């Protein structure tokens, strides 16, 4: 069966303003720059590599449809959408609430298409029109909690898709595995008391947001045990992520037996990313993708949906992303041109601190049923 792929031209039009991360300010001597750290060119370059590599011939393009208010309000408070409508209508848009998440004029349409792209791919996978797929959406979503926008994220796209799968498509159990290098705090917040969505976050410990992402954050009430954090020490590379996948993610998915796996696919754990300090290469992401695709075949008939999260290296993200797409299509097209340079830097050896961090998270898997 075919592999679905979502991209919309407007994802590349997300206006991140003239700041570098926070807004440019003459008073604070923060110079304007044309390339915000979350500038959409990074994601657009990934899409263009998908096109230029020839992978599109092996993918089935799926049209994103704007998420509705009902879709958004399943996981966010109604005031959040109202605030985004107001900011999007301003002549130059503005700050979506935390000082770094910019929503340009009309940007609401892009954010709704991003959440809606995740929904459309999920719908087609669950209904069997495609076997699995990649939603290369923008803006990302995993930092956005129930209350609002955060950390470049406007709506929590993976959660919007999971809620749609639960409430509209009738699934009982969905797993969200988030390998973006930052903690999936928004996803954790949304499903905190709900065991019907297992949330797993692999992240660099205390990278962002502050003081979140500890293994002790496990959910509450009925949801206790169904939020799993795997905080990794800075500097972890392919070996640390592979070990975390084998020791925590795969056993947790086997224990939980979801009907659908949604991957929050960020590439900011890459060795060339400016916003974190991990050392994963395209080969490392390829291995993660292979492992979780195979796991999906074992537990949920291969139903797996990758939804783009962060990633801020315009140079390297396209090759990391392409490696994941190649594992979906099982067709190799372009070799990572940085590989020889990057593999000499380390990251393929599991260090003691990494092993200990993963082993302590692995102890929590036994509570998943």
- In this structure, the strands spanning 197-204 and 174-178 are parallel
**Least distance (Å) between residue 275 CB and Zn ion:** 7
Question: Cis link prior to 124 (omega < 30° from 0)?
Answer: no
Q: How many CB atoms lie within 10 A of CB 261?
A: 27
Closest CB to Zn ion among residues 259, 268? 268
Q: Least CB distance from residue 29 to Zn ion, whole Å?
A: 27
- Residue 170, judged by CB atoms within 10 A of its CB (0-12, 13-18, 19+), counts as exposed
Kindly indicate which of the ranges 23-31, 69-77, 154-162, 268-276 contains the residues binding Zn ion, using the contact rule CB under 5 A. Answer: 268-276
Taking the complex as a whole, the smallest distance from the CB of residue 43 to Zn ion amounts, in Å, to 13
Q: Which lies closer to Zn ion via its Cβ, residue 189 or residue 194?
A: 189
Clarify whether 143 is annotated catalytic. yes
CB of 280 to Zn ion, least distance (A): 13
If binding means CB under 5 A, how many residues of this protein chain bind Zn ion?
Answer: 5
Q: What is the 3-state secondary structure (H, E, C) of 322-348?
A: HHHHHHHHCCCCCCCCCHHHHHHHCCC
Residue environment code for 17-54, b if the CB has 16+ CB neighbours within 10 A, otherwise e: bebbbebeeeeeeeeeeeebbbbbebbbbbbebbeebe
* Least gap, CB of 256 to Zn ion (angstroms): 24
Q: Which is nearer to Zn ion, 120 or 180 (CB)?
A: 180
Minimum separation from the CB atom of position 239 to Zn ion (A): 21
Which of 21, 102, 43 is closest to 266 using CA atoms? 43
Of 167, 168, 166, the closest CA to residue 176 belongs to 166
Q: How far apart are CA 279 and CA 270, in angstroms?
A: 5
Comparing C-alpha atoms, which of 142, 354, 116 is closest to residue 266? 142
The alpha carbon dihedral of 81, 83, 85, 87 has a sign of: negative
Task: State which residue, 194 or 309, has the beta carbon closest to Zn ion.
Answer: 309
Among 180, 217, 273, 326, binds Zn ion (CB under 5 A): 180
268 lines the binding site for Zn ion (CB under 5 A): yes
Q: Using CB atoms, what's the residue nearest to Zn ion?
A: 310
Q: In the stretch 295-324, what mask flags binding to Zn ion with x, by CB under 5 A?
A: ---------------x--------------
CB count in 10 Å sphere of residue 89: 11
SS3 49: helix
Catalytic residue among 39, 58, 142, 143: 143
Looking only at the bridges linking them, the beta strands covering 94-95 and 102-103 are antiparallel
- Closest approach of Zn ion to the CB of residue 171, in Å: 26
Q: Which of 242, 223, 340 is nearest to 291 (CA)?
A: 242
Q: Which of 74, 124, 166, 182 binds Zn ion (CB under 5 A)?
A: 182
Q: Give whichever of 42 and 132 is closer to Zn ion, judged by the CB atom.
A: 42
Q: Note whether 178 binds Zn ion by CB under 5 A.
A: no
Site string for Zn ion, 227-266 (x = CB under 5 A): ---------------------------------------x
The footprint of Zn ion on residues 97-116 (CB under 5 A) is: none
Give catalytic residue positions. Answer: 143
Applying CB under 5 A, which residues contact Zn ion? Answer: 180, 182, 266, 268, 310
């Amino acid at each position: 069966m075919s592999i679905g792929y979502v991209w919309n031209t407007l994802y590349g039009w997300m206006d991140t303003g003239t700041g570098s991360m926070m807004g440019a300010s003459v008073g604070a001597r923060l110079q304007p720059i044309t390339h915000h750290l979350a500038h959409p060119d990074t994601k657009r370059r990934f899409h263009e590599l998908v096109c230029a590599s020839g992978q599109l011939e092996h993918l089935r393009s799926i049209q994103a449809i704007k998420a509705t208010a009902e879709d958004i309000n399943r996981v966010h408070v109604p005031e959040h959408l109202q605030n985004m409508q107001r900011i999007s209508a301003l002549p130059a848009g503005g700050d979506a609430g935390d000082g770094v998440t910019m929503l340009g004029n009309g940007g609401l349409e892009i954010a709704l298409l991003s959440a809606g792209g995740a929904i459309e791919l999920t719908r087609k996978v669950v209904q069997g029109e495609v076997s699995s797929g990649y939603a290369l959406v923008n803006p990302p979503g995993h930092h956005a909690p129930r209350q609002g926008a955060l950390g470049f994220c406007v709506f929590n796209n993976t959660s919007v898709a999971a809620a749609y799968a639960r409430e509209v498509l009738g699934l009982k159990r969905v797993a969200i595995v988030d390998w973006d290098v930052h903690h999936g705090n928004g996803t954790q917040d949304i499903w905190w008391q709900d065991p019907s969505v297992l949330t797993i976050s692999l992240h660099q410990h205390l990278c962002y947001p502050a003081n979140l992402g500890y293994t002790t954050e496990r959910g509450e009430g009925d949801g206790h045990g169904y939020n799993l954090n795997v905080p990794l020490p800075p500097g972890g590379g392919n070996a640390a992520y592979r070990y975390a996948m084998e020791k925590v993610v795969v056993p947790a998915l086997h224990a939980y037996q979801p009907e659908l796996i949604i991957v929050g696919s960020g590439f900011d754990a890459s060795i060339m990313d400016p916003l974190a300090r991990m050392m994963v290469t395209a080969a490392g992401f390829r291995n993660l993708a292979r492992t979780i695709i195979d796991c999906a075949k074992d537990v949920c008939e291969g139903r797996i949906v990758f939804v783009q999260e962060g990633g801020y290296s315009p140079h390297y993200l396209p090759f990391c992303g392409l490696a994941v797409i190649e594992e979906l299509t099982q067709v190799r097209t372009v070799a990572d041109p940085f590989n020889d340079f990057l593999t000499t830097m380390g990251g393929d050896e599991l260090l003691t601190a990494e092993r200990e961090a993963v082993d302590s998270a692995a102890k929590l898997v036994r509570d998943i049923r």
